[in-house]
Structure 1
Amino acid sequence: MFRKKNNDIFSIEDGGDTIISIVTNDLDENDCHIDEADLPEDLPVLPLRNTVIFPGTSLPIAIARKKSVKLINDLEKRKGRFVGLVCQKESDTEDPTSKDLYEVGVIGEVLRIVELPESDNVTVIFQGKKTFRITELTQKSPYLRTKYELLKTIPVRKKDNEYKVLLDSIREMMVHMLRMYGDPPKDIVQRINSVKDGTILVNYCCTNLPIPAGEKQQLLELSEDKSRAYQLLIILNRESQMMEMKMNIQMKTRDELNQQQKEYFLQQQLKTIQDELGGNPQQADIEDFQKRAESKKWSKEVAAAFDKELKKLERLHPQSPDYSVQYSYIQTVLDLPWNEYTEDNFDLKNAQKVLDHDHFGLEKVKERIIEHLAVLKLKGDMKSPIICLYGPPGVGKTSLGKSVAQALNRKYVRVSLGGLHDESEIRGHRRTYIGAMPGRIIQNIQKAESSNPVFVLDEIDKMGNDFRGDPSSALLEVLDPEQNSTFHDNYLNIDYDLSKVMFLATANNIGTIPQPLLDRMEMIEISGYIIEEKVEIARRHLIPKELEIHGLPKKAITISKATIEHIITDYTRESGVRELDKKIAKIMRKLALKVASETEYNKTLEPEELHEYLGPVEYTKDQYQGNDYAGVVTGLAWTSVGGEILFIETSLSKGKSNKLTLTGNLGDVMKESAVLALEYLHAHSQYFGIDESVFENWNVHIHVPEGAIPKDGPSAGITMVTSLASAFTQRRVRANLAMTGEITLRGKVLPVGGIREKILAAKRAGIKEIILCKENKKDIDDIKSLYLKGLKFHYVEDIKEVLDYALLKEKVKDPLDLSVKQEKSGKKK
């Protein structure tokens, strides 16, 4: 930009620094004229820094060096006017000698001395007259004086059109360059455009052109005016292009700087507002995350991944949609208990005491937990086993997890897998999805605040699968001790160690669990309770719990063992104790009403009073019904809720063909067992004393009561054979007898499952004797003797053994016409 110093002097400044000063004197060709007679024999030499003056031009020069000030003072005293103005080769030289100066300079005439108010230095305005060459120094101190020779220039021909065009180009380029620095004074532009002398114009431009002093010195030393003009135009073009590039760059950087300044200003305003409101919440959150991360015990890999995600959060704007997603992810990572474990309690006696206090029975499970503790105590560290507890509902599988956690002094978490059909529920969702979250495994580990909790996977047999994946397959990694040390959750995207977690799975029917998942678990069966165990469970746990729940004191009522046994036999039919708990709760509600209304009641509940509290007896059909009817045999069945007895009824009716009718909502396997039984008896009719014509002239109807309940399986094979044989022969079936076993066409008896549940059902029904396959003896040997008390077992290998023992010689009191016909047909033969 242009800045006016006084009436005659302007300066061009860039970034606060003065590039060059311009004197707006008249550009006249007479300015170069000088009378050689007026010149002294030797000239005082004034060294100039980065400054070259040309003949015919004026230039203000600031005098600061002591020698230079001395030179000016002597001129004033002697009334001298002329000085040799010579440029230094190096501007840093403080005390130059003849070697430090160029040989060619300009004789300058002092026009006047200007004292600028803003500067302490003396400013002298010189006007260039003639170029000269230094020939011999005559004085070195206090300043230089030299002898010289004047140099002549070669002028341009008057009618040189090329030179005229050259001068016009110089005028345009010079004005163009001046305008790049701002709006130049009109006096300068007017004088440049109006000067006619080409030499004066070229010298003026050379003097005021902001180029290095070395290039100006080269222009000064050119003896031909036209050559100097050409060289000047080349420099003007170059400088003009450089200036345009510089201006473009400055404009771009200025725009960017303005944007940055605007953003900075707005950020500072925002920061001030946030400080007034209590500080920058985003920065406070990041600092809190960093502080929490310092206390984490995670590995280097996890720390590196966390730092990367935290830096990503810092770069996001709080209003960005991704900010909340990233924020939630950082919180999830920090909330997880990386390598944080609770200390296990290795007191085996205390563990046994806790397990016995919370659960009556369940000896196998307790034994397995104690074994695990013993190994852990000896080794100090081991991969936790994956135990699957399976059995009927209500036997305490789920609640056992809490007791195990208490015995081990570990945290307890539970996740219900019933009805789960989305793989993402186990592995989590990727963060690219809206509403993504970690899977249930990681969520519950986060809730437990420990990396070694007791983790109960409830109802693992009730998982489903659909187009969203198979969650049971996702559980393979979780439940494999060789893989779960690097469990990968899609949301977390960092491997997490689950090897110290003690997984307890529960199931009712292991038949629905996929085989690969089944292989990864240690299966422990929890069978139903016998009546004696249920009585103890009710006395020790259920009754005190329900008294507390209903706000009753402990001595509000006493329920005798006989009463509890009646509740079990008359009002419940289950392997577990869940329904029993409901009945006790019903009694407590009735009792709470009496206590609240201050009604008198008997504080000892007797069996005959149960009708008042529980209503009429609910279950009687499963009791043994005697052997008064031929063709009715008691069988044993296994269901998902435990064991049950079931009756196989066979009736015969006259007909023209041997029609077999099956009713009772039977499955295909059970229907095949009925066909198999009938064919076996037909094939061995002579052995059992049955007339073959019976199979042709009598219709057979086999029915299994409770027709609305689906029934299937091969366990009723020997029961159907016995029922058909009893109906054909009208022989009684041995009293208080039940049986279970599969049959073959050859008459072999095969083993079946669910023996323990079937035995409990038989005891509830009052059965005294049970017929089993000989191979099922190993299952009986594995059952505690308490469960077998009052039962007698008969082990068979062939159907003939079953019928020989089950059917008595005695026939029913009111035999059918069938038996009469059999006797008559025998006489005819």
Structure 2
Amino acid sequence: MTTLLLVPLEDTVIFPTMDVTLPVDVGDEEQVLLVPRHEGSFASVGTIARVAERVRLPGGVRGASLEGVARGIAGAASTDAGGRLRVEVTESPDVVPVDGRTRTLEREYRAVVDEILDLRGDDGRVASFLRSITEPGALADTSGYSPDLSFDQKVRLLETIDVTERLELALGMQRERLAELQVRRRIREDVESGANKQQRDYFLRKQMESIRKELGEDDGSIVDEYRTKIEEAGMPDAVREQAERELDRFERTGEQGGEGQMIRTYLDWLISVPWSERSEEHLDPVGTREVLDSDHAGLDDVKDRIVEYVAVRKLRQERGIGVSPSDTRKLASRATSHNGAILTLIGPPGTGKTSIGESIARAMGREFVRMSLGGIRDEAEIRGHRRTYIGALPGRLVRALRDAGTMNPVILLDEVDKVGADWRGDPSAALLEVLDPAQNSTFRDHYLDVELDLSQVVFIATANQAETIPGPLLDRMEVIRFDGYTVAEKTAIARDYLFPRQRERNGLHEEEVAVSDDVLELVVREYTREAGVRQLERELGTLLRKTATRIASATATAPVTIDVELVRDALGRQKVFQEAAIRTAVPGVATGLAVTGVGGDVLFVESTSMDGKGGLTLTGQLGDVMKESARIALSYVRGHAHELGIDPHGFEDTEFHVHVPAGAIPKDGPSAGITMTTALASLLTGRPVKHTVGMTGEVTLQGRVLPIGGLKQKVLAAHAAGLTDVILPERNRPDLDDVPEDVREQMTFHPVMTIGEVLDIALEPAPAVHHA
């Protein structure tokens, strides 16, 4: 037993093997007893500590660096001459029993502590320290380092003298710590993986609100900004409710995740639709005609129809016909049907279909948006993608409304005849709802998934030909034909529109260059053969570029008058020739008239015969209809050989070949029958076809001539090719009213009912027979 200086420790427990520096003056003492004390009560066991060094602490306070040695059981206490408390101490060194239980507890203790360290994220230093301890008692005392143990638990551990019992006590305490840490980890993982997500999000939102308030940014939150935009957008009630639901989702989700970004994009599109915006419409038939006349030359029938369209809209609007606030939705949809007359402008390229759509919008005071449909094959281009797809977007109609900034623009559906279809759907089927006035008031875009009222939109469609437009879609359209321009109209367009525009584009002033109508007509006749005026504008551009180059290089002095010599120099030799006389000079060639995707055209049907076993060869990329026409023509000529003055036996050992030049271009259509019949009849009778005659019409086996379409375009092509006589079916006689008057005055038309009449008009007279 030893008497040592008592050093009380307030609410602190020091174990053997621990080192500590305390603000206590130990004098000359070599050892002291460190005893925990709580609320004036001392523990029964303390730690005998060796004084390693006497130190001076900050502030001049004396202190000592102490090293724990062993446990000491405190006995009787007394006060020394200096008034310090001393106590009798019985040292209690650790006695390790020689049994397997202690070693088992030691292994379990190490395993539990290793798990605790793993959960706490130990960097390896603590684990290394534990591995360096080999004594079971010292190992158990390491629990005293844990900040998670209470003061009472540490005192109990210090007061446990038996090593095995102490190790068992320490193991129990560490198991409690492990269980607590595992529960904490599960809770943390549950929170991170979504458990109690709503409470967590609520807590985080409150924190964000507090942070914004501290930063003075409370009024600028994204949610508040969207809420304000939704209120100002003027959405219908159903749309606003949908927007507010998505905004609530966004508020719960936050903007950092992928779903939050998708919701923001959706809300941006929903807000971008001009729900409450309308253009103030001007319905003035007189003003509309003035706008159309100022923007386009000719096309009187087209302009008349557009003026009628505006006039009808004006009367119905002024008189309130078909519009009643008390109508049901169905009746309202029917009432808006007068708004749904889908004007479809069909004609060759370059005839002004798109530009006249712009003029309609300007005349009506509406915004204009062009939607090019050529080549699209995905239904989602019209209806939009569903939001479940990555990168989903609304359809083109929603984007058109956004670009227009109003709900009643003029939308031009350009190239509607070139819409395709594949495994992604049929866009033309989606257009059925868009263009149906009984349905488009409730059009639903797949992306927005709300109803859009398209009944106030003026839809105008354009196409090059009606044959490739699906029947159900064409049924919803009112077709206005653009059949092309006459030479006089092209000359006027060149003088009033194309020449001034190209002059400005090439940097020339009006007083620097001049051109006469005769020269413009020369360019039209000898350098272009088209229904529209695009190629004509290109030729005029070339002509003016050459002129600008001369003026800029000082090889010519302004003003420059463009004459024939300058045209030849700039545009080269003549490109378009009147070749009907040359091509039909020999028997077996007839001049036919056809309609192609670029307007009316002249086709020369050639035929020849040769020795053989009979039969018919067809070349020139002819479609099924034209192949049938050729076979019918041969059958008719053969069946009426006597009437035509042809040897009936000449067909038996003869093969026939019918060819339509320009074989690289596919050709088809029910209007070449009389032309092929005339060519074969000319070949077999030896009578050439008159070079001034062009013809169009289908023929039956009985020789009846059937009506055809596109007469105006064919007549204009014949006029441009220099033909003066046109043979046409009798039933197409009323269609001559569509032909411009100046063209009718220059040409002679021959309506016929039978192929016999055709041959009498088309073939040159038979040579006279002189008898000896």
TM-score, normalization: structure 1?
0.65
Measured in 2, the distance between the counterparts of 1:725 and 1:511 equals: 31
Q: Is the 8 A contact 1:730 1:811 kept in 2?
A: no
Deviations 1:214-253 (CA, angstroms, capped at 9, x unpaired): xxxxxxxxxxxxxxxxxxxxxxxxxxxxxxxxxx9xxx9x
Q: 1:631-674 deviations in whole A, cap 9, x for unaligned?
A: 22211111111111111222333x25334333323223222222
Which residue of 529, 532, 550 corresponds with 1:576?
532
Q: Equivalent residue for 1:69?
A: none
Between the aligned partners of 1:346 and 1:702, the Cα distance in structure 2 is 56
Residues 450, 591 of structure 1: alpha-carbon distance in 2 compared, 3 angstrom cutoff: same
Post-superposition offset of 1:697:
3.8
Q: Distance in 2 between matches of 1:451 and 1:263?
A: 39
- Residue of structure 2 aligned with 1:305, choices 242, 263, 268: 242
Between the aligned partners of 1:523 and 1:689, the Cα distance in structure 2 is 46
The separation in 1 between residues aligned to 2:152 and 2:567, in whole angstroms, is 117
Show the 5 A alignment for 1:329-478: 329-380=266-317, 382=336, 383-478=339-434
Is 1:685 paired with 2:622? Answer: no
Q: From the superposition, tell whether residues 427 and 633 of structure 1 become closer, same or farther in structure 2 (CA, over 3 Å).
A: same
Secondary structure of the residue that 2:511 maps to in structure 1? coil
Corresponding residue for residue 669 of structure 1? 625
**Structure whose CA Rg is larger:** 1
Q: What is the deviation of 1:289?
A: 2.1
- What residue in structure 1 maps to residue 598 of structure 2? 641
SS of equivalent to 1:371: helix
1:50-129 correspondence to structure 2 within 5 Å = none
> Is 1:705 equivalent to 2:647 in the alignment?
no
Deviation by residue 1:718-762 (Cα, 9 ceiling, x = unmatched): 112112112212123334111111111111111111111110011
Distance 1:183 1:262 in 2: 37
By how many angstroms is 1:681 displaced?
A: 1.4
Query: Pairwise mapping of residues 261-280 of structure 1 onto structure 2 (< 5 A)?
Result: 268=207, 272=211, 279=217
Separation (CA, whole Å) in 2 of partners of 1:331 and 1:671: 57
Contact in 2 for aligned 1:624/1:767 (Cα 8 Å): no
Q: Does 1:595 align with 2:551?
A: yes
**Residues in 2 aligned to 1:318 and 1:698: alpha-carbon distance in whole angstroms:** 84
Between the aligned partners of 1:672 and 1:327, the Cα distance in structure 2 is 61
What corresponds to 1:775 in structure 2?
731
Equivalent of 2:566, from 578, 586, 609?
609
Label 1:271 to 1:632 Cα distance change in 2 as closer, same or farther (>3 A): same
Among residues 249, 252, 258, which one is paired with 1:315 in the alignment?
Answer: 252
Aligned with residue 447 of structure 2, among 491, 504, 518: 491
**Corresponding residue number in structure 1 for 2:585:** 628
> Using the alignment, how far apart are the partners of 1:717 and 1:708 within structure 2?
21
Identity across matched positions, percent: 44
Deviations 1:125-178 (A, max 9, x none): xxxxxxxxxxxxxxxxxxxxxxxxxxxxxxxxxxxxxxxxxxxxxxxxxxxxxx
Across the two proteins, how many residue pairs are aligned to each other?
Answer: 573
Alignment-derived partner of residue 742 in structure 1: 698
Distance 2:213 2:577 in 1: 77
Q: What CA distance in whole angstroms lies between the structure 2 residues aligned with 1:274 and 1:557?
A: 71
- Contact 2:578/2:721 (<8 A) preserved: no
Q: Is the 8 A contact 2:340 2:436 kept in 1?
A: no
In structure 2, the residue matched to 1:551 is 507
CA distance in 1, matches of 2:340, 2:381: 23
Residues 417, 458 of structure 1: 8 Å contact kept: yes
Structure 2 CA distance for partners of 1:450 and 1:266, relative to 1, 3 Å? closer
Q: Deviations over 1:440-474 (max 9, x none)?
A: 00011011010000000000110111111111111
Tell which deviates more after alignment, 430-439 or 628-637: 628-637
Deviation track 1:331-358 (CA, whole Å, cap 9, x = no partner) reads 1111111132111112222111111111
Residues 624 and 766 in structure 1, CA contact (< 8 A), matched pair in contact too: no
Query: What amino acid is aligned across from residue 532 of structure 1 in structure 2?
Result: A
- Asked whether the equivalents of residues 362 and 526 of structure 1 are also in contact (C-alpha less than 8 Å), the reply is yes
Question: More deviation in 463-472 or 556-565?
Answer: 556-565
Separation in 2, partners of 1:705, 1:347: 50
1:628 deviates by 3.0
SS of 2:412's partner is: strand
Runs of 5+ in structure 2 lacking a partner?
1-39, 41-149, 154-182, 318-322, 324-335
1:325 aligns with 2:282: no
Question: Aligned in 2, Cα 1:275/1:574: closer, same or farther, shift over 3 Å?
Answer: farther
| Contact 2:370 2:412 (C-alpha < 8 Å) held by counterparts | yes
Structure 2 CA distance for aligned equivalents of residues 364 and 562 of structure 1: 27
Give structure 1 stretches of 5+ with no counterpart. 1-23, 25-181, 186-247, 813-818
* 1:695 to partner: Cα distance: 1.5
Matches within 5 A, 1:708-723: 708-723=664-679
Amino acid at match of 1:663: T
CA contact (8 A) 1:771 1:793 kept: yes
What amino acid sits opposite 2:298 in the alignment?
G
Residue of structure 1 in register with 2:687 after alignment: 731
- The residue number in structure 2 matching 1:759 is 715
After superposition, give the CA deviation of every residue in 1:524-577 in whole Å (9 maximum; x if it has no partner). Answer: 111111111111111111111111222211222112111111211221121001
Q: For the Cα contact (< 8 Å) 1:624–1:765, is it kept in 2?
A: no
Q: Distance in 2 between matches of 1:470 and 1:415?
A: 17
The aligned runs of 1:122-161 (5 Å cut-off) are none
- For 2:528 and 2:534, the matched residues in 1 are separated by 9
- Deviation of 1:263 after TM superposition, in Å, equals 8.8
Q: Which shifted more, 482-491 or 679-688?
A: 679-688
> What is the aligned partner in structure 1 of residue 541 from structure 2?
585
> Which whole-Å CA distance do the structure 2 matches of 1:690 and 1:733 have between them?
16
Most deviating of 703-712 and 788-797? 703-712
CA distance in 2, matches of 1:707, 1:346: 50
Matched residue SS, 2:314: helix
Q: Deviations over 1:300-343 (max 9, x none)?
A: 22222222122112122221111111111111111111132111
- Work out whether residues 636 and 645 of structure 1, in 8 Å CA contact, stay in contact via their aligned partners in 2: yes
Q: Is the contact made by 1:752 and 1:776 (CA closer than 8 Å) also made in structure 2?
A: yes
Quick one: structure 1 residues 701 and 265, their matched pair in 2 at CA, closer, same or farther if it must change by over 3 Å?
Answer: closer
Q: Deviations over 1:783-817 (max 9, x none)?
A: 342332211111111111111222232449xxxxx
1:295–1:693 distance in 2 versus 1, CA, 3 Å: same
559-568 or 802-811: which moved more? 802-811
1:809 is paired with a residue whose SS is coil
Give distance in 2, aligned partners of 1:409 and 1:554: 31
Distance 2:455 2:427 in 1: 20
Following TM superposition, by how much is the alpha carbon of 1:184 offset from its aligned partner in structure 2, in angstroms? 9.5
Check the 8 A contact 1:650/1:703 in 2, yes or no: yes
Could you tell me whether the CA contact under 8 Å between 2:344 and 2:462 is conserved in 1?
yes
Equivalent residue for 1:286, pick from 219, 223, 232? 223
Please tell me whether residue 509 in structure 1 is matched to residue 468 in structure 2.
no
Q: Which TM-score applies when normalising by structure 2?
A: 0.69
SS in 1 for 2:609: strand
Q: SS of the counterpart of 2:764?
A: strand
